[in-house]
Structure 1
Amino acid sequence: MKKLLKLLLLFLFAFVAYQSFLFIKGYPGPSDHQVEYEVNAETLPNALHPIVAKKVEVLKEKTAEKEITILITDDYRSFEEQDKLYDKGRRTPGKVVTHLEGGESYHNYGLAVDFALQLENGNVIWDTEYDGNGNGQSDWFEVAEFAKELGFHWGGDWNGFKDYPHLQMDFGLTINDLQEGKRPKISQVKTESIVKLP
């Protein structure tokens, strides 16, 4: 019973903290490496970080201007959801879809999203060669370039395993930093750094 009460209080605190972020007018841009962090091991996020969420909206607008529609297929993921994904192909039926357990993914801290392309007929595809706007370039790679200009790191650039749908903003924090309770601050850089494409 104490554990349940503690979890409930933790969730309530996280919810209140997130709501307060929504009212802050000046969010920092993740590509600004002077972004500071705060230590708050008691609080885990329960949604996308506000800066990441705003940058995703800008990414959707910029890709739409190039006649590319993207769909965010995954964003914030709880530790429990991460563990369920990790179990696929190991403890539960299906293909292995991740090598990361709960707490080991930037999704678990609201700092990552996965995307796919959405066609005019509503179908969703993960075809990295598709050129729907007919400009001679892969739509997928065009999205990745826009995302990188906005400050995202793209999983397609990783050495070894390539995670083509994955975009993350780490604010200079490693997974170990996040596990230790470090969280990016969101109050010292002006709003303009979010809404302008560099």
Structure 2
Amino acid sequence: MNRHAGWDVMLLLLFAGGLFFLWQKEQEQITQELREHETLHPKVVEKKEELIDRAKNREIQVVITEGYRSEEKQNNLYAQGRSQAGSIVTHAEGGESYHNYGLAIDFAIERNNGELTWDTNYDGNDNGQSDWMEVVEIAKDLGFEWGGDWNHFEDRPHLQWDIGVSIRELQRK
């Protein structure tokens, strides 16, 4: 009887290991697909479109200014304000941003005259509320995390979709 129990435990461990291996392979495949297609994750595309539609219903024109970003472009942005001219706009090097995995978007508001603005006080629909914060409210309702809530570095145009995988996990895959 003891011999059979040992085999049962061994088979159970092999089965669990196999499941973990398959899960890990699936996560690697998702990450690779995101990088290969250089595009936004389908869920981010869906939520981005819903964000634009809901804002339009409030007479706010949201413009997506950035989506997927290559690691090379991310490194160039990171160099800004450091080894390159300009202001620091990010603390994430290539591979450290959700943009690099198609899981983040940046936005601006289109003013009534057609110009883009990042003015968080602008009230183009004249309802007494900041259009920017109305968009943020919609984005959070859709499940986005807003970079304006970050303590370490405020990134007000940034919205990211958390799929339950950390940047470190995305980098490893």
What is the match of residue 64 of structure 2? 72
Q: Deviations over 1:90-121 (max 9, x none)?
A: 22222222111100000000000000110122
The one of 155, 170, 175 aligned to 2:162: 170
User: Superposed, which structure 2 residues align to 1:33-182 within 5 Å?
Assistant: 38-40=26-28, 43=32, 44-45=35-36, 46-181=38-173
What SS is found at the alignment partner of 1:40? helix
CA distance 1:52–1:179, change in 2 (3 Å): same
- Give aligned-pair identity as a percent: 55
- Give the structure, 1 or 2, with the largest relative contact order (CA under 8 Å, sep 6 or more): 1
Is contact 2:68–2:101 with CA below 8 Å preserved after alignment? yes
TM-score by length of 1: 0.70
Matches of 1:121 and 1:132 in 2, distance apart?
Answer: 10
Matches of 2:100 and 2:115 in 1, distance apart?
Answer: 28
Unpaired runs of 5+ residues, structure 1, are 1-35, 182-198
Matches of 1:160 and 1:103 in 2, distance apart?
Answer: 19
**How large is the RMSD of aligned CA atoms in angstroms?**
1.7
Matches of 2:150 and 2:121 in 1, distance apart?
Answer: 18
Matches of 1:48 and 1:39 in 2, distance apart?
Answer: 16
Residue 40 (structure 1) shift: 1.4
Q: Deviations over 1:157-184 (max 9, x none)?
A: 1123211111000211110111122xxx
How many residues are aligned here? Answer: 146
Structure 1 stretches of 4+ with a deviation exceeding 2 A read 36-39
Is contact 2:112–2:124 with CA below 8 Å preserved after alignment? no
User: Superposed, which structure 2 residues align to 1:1-12 within 5 Å?
Assistant: none
Matches of 2:84 and 2:121 in 1, distance apart?
Answer: 32
What SS is found at the alignment partner of 1:115? strand
Matches of 1:153 and 1:162 in 2, distance apart?
Answer: 12
Is contact 2:98–2:167 with CA below 8 Å preserved after alignment? yes
